[in-house]
């Protein structure tokens, strides 16, 4: 019986075309699906980005509302420390807006140096701190965490010369580092810039508050079982930042807004309301080549003449003259006169410490004051509302300061 074989016939041209079309359709479908998926992913990403951006803008506006609130409080109540120092009713969890999806608040808080609470809800007066850009070496050395080497390195960093102090460091030292950098040899722009100064570390600057959370201890990166560092007085180490600043400056004008008169310049009789006795004392003291460091030196000041002054009542050599400035006149003298060199077109004076807001630990480092006297001043502040630029009379009358002490503290 003969075997039958089936011979495969080649596909027709129509069948080939249909197969190619099917493959092409599948490829197009895959491509369209991928494009659609990509577009959907992009749309979702853009929606998420837009939402995040909108929330970020709302958060920023809420924060700016807090700044605007703080500015308004300072404009209206800058002299009333209770209004801005710790006022939860104004600065804690203040509702800004409710957009239906989210409620937006702001809170302004700061470190509480009295440790009565983890934080306080208010502002910090930078003028209640020591300005590192103008403080002399003796004041720097009195600050917490400051050593003689650190002070020397800071002075070298901020001065304009290139000659290092015995324990300091100028550009030659920074050039020798593994990653050298150029120091500006000028005033610090921020407190964080201290990290570029030889020897200064986060521990020195921020103490236990290294993450700026104002909560000391384990939350600041020490670890749950670590021991909190304390200062020599037994208080938690808040670092240099709690006592120092680089931001303080103010116009060198009196309470009425008039430019102060330079005590070491030419004082015209009508330029300042002072007794004739005081004006004569200033003229004779300056005529003999002397200069004043601060107007507070006039307080109960006496001077023995080294020259004869026939044009001043025939005063002879060896005569003793007095300024005539008592505690009652001192606020006027300090308000109208100055010896400060001003900077810039706005004639700003830097580094003044506000005795009405400075904590006791800051006041204690000022020349002529100790911890006991500093605490007396802080206690005294609680008994009356401070008047801007006129604390001297009250301090003297209540024995927080003496004429000798005040003359030393005047430049601050």
Which residue in the block uniquely carries the two structure tokens 């004082």? 267
Least confident of 32-46, 54-68, 189-203, 338-352: 338-352
Q: Which helix (DSSP H) or strand (DSSP E) does residue 244 occupy? A: strand 244-245
Q: What is the pLDDT of residues 288-336, one digit of tens each?
A: 999 998 898 999 999 999 988 888 877 888 999 999 999 888 888 888 8
Measured in degrees and rounded to the nearest 5, phi and psi for residue 119 equal -140, 165
pLDDT of residue 309: 87
Q: What is the pLDDT of residues 346-359, one digit of tens each?
A: 678 888 898 888 98
Domains by residue range for the chain, with CATH: 50-124 (no CATH), 126-248 (1.10.40.60), 257-350 (no CATH)
d(CA 286, CA 273): 19
pLDDT of residue 235: 62
DSSP assignment of 110-157 equals: EE-TT-SSSEESS---GGGSEETTT--HHHHHTSTT--HHHHHHHHHH
CB 195 within 8 A of CB 157: no
CB-neighbour burial class of residue 83 (10 A; exposed 0-12, middle 13-18, buried 19+): middle
pLDDT(163) > 50: yes
CB 284 within 8 A of CB 379: no
d(CA 65, CA 270): 47
At residue 6 the predicted structure's pLDDT band, cuts being 50, 70 and 90, is low
Structure tokens at 323: 């300024």
Q: Residues 210, 215, 217, CA angle at the centre, nearest 5°?
A: 70
Residue range 356-375: average pLDDT?
89
Indicate yes or no: pTM above 0.75: no
Q: Which helix (DSSP H) or strand (DSSP E) does residue 202 occupy? A: helix 202-206
Q: What is the pLDDT of residues 172-189, one digit of tens each?
A: 999 999 999 999 999 999
Mean residue pLDDT of the chain comes to: 81
Structure tokens at 102: 């989210």
User: Please, which residues have CB within 8 angstroms of residue 10's CB and are 6 or more apart in sequence?
Assistant: none
pLDDT of residue 192: 93
pLDDT of residue 401: 52
DSSP assignment of 346-406 equals: TTEEE----TTT--HHHHTTSTT--HHHHHHHHHHHTTS---TT--HHHHHHTTS--HHHH
User: Please, which residues have CB within 8 angstroms of residue 94's CB and are 6 or more apart in sequence?
Assistant: 65, 66, 69, 105, 106, 107
d(CA 122, CA 113): 13
Higher pLDDT, 232 or 297: 297
Q: Is 298 left (phi over 0), alpha (psi -120 to 50) or beta?
A: alpha
Structure tokens at 251: 């116009």
pLDDT of residue 228: 46
Which residue in the block uniquely carries the two structure tokens 């802080």? 378
């Amino acid at each position: 019986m003969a075997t039958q074989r089936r011979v495969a016939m080649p596909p027709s041209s129509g069948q080939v075309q249909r197969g190619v079309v099917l493959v092409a359709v599948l490829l197009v479908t895959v491509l369209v699906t991928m494009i659609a998926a990509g577009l959907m992913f992009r749309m979702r990403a853009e929606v998420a980005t837009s939402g995040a951006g909108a929330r970020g803008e709302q958060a920023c506006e809420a924060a700016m509302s807090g700044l605007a609130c703080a500015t308004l409080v300072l404009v209206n109540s800058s002299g009333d420390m209770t209004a801005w120092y710790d006022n939860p009713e104004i600065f804690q969890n203040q509702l800004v807006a409710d957009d239906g999806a989210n409620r937006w608040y702001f809170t302004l808080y700061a470190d509480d140096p009295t440790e009565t609470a983890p934080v306080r809800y208010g502002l910090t007066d930078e003028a209640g701190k020591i300005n590192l850009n103008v403080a002399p070496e003796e004041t720097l050395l009195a600050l917490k965490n400051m050593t003689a080497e650190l002070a020397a390195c800071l002075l070298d960093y901020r001065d304009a010369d290139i000659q290092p102090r015995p324990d300091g460091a100028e550009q030659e030292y920074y050039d020798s580092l593994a990653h050298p950098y150029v120091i500006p040899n000028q005033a610090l722009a921020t407190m964080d810039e201290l990290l570029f100064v030889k020897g200064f570390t986060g521990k020195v600057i921020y103490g236990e508050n290294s993450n700026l959370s104002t909560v000391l201890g384990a939350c600041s990166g020490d670890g749950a079982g670590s021991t909190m560092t304390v200062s020599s007085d037994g208080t938690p180490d808040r670092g240099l930042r709690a006592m120092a600043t680089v931001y303080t400056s103010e116009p060198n004008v009196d309470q009425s807004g008039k430019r102060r008169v330079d005590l070491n310049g030419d004082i015209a009789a009508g330029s300042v309301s002072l007794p004739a006795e005081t004006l004569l004392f200033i003229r004779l003291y300056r005529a003999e080549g002397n200069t004043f460091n601060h107007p507070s030196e006039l307080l109960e000041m006496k001077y023995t003449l080294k020259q004869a002054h026939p044009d001043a009542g025939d005063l002879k050599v060896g005569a003793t003259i007095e300024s005539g400035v008592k505690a009652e006149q001192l606020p006027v003298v300090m308000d109208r006169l100055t010896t400060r060199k001003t900077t810039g077109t706005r004639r700003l004076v830097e580094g003044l410490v506000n005795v009405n807001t400075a904590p006791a630990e800051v006041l204690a480092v000022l020349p002529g004051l100790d911890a006991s006297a500093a605490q007396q001043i802080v206690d005294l502040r609680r008994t009356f509302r401070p008047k801007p630029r006129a604390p001297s009379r009250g301090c003297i009358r209540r024995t927080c300061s003496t004429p000798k002490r005040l003359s030393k503290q005047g430049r601050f």
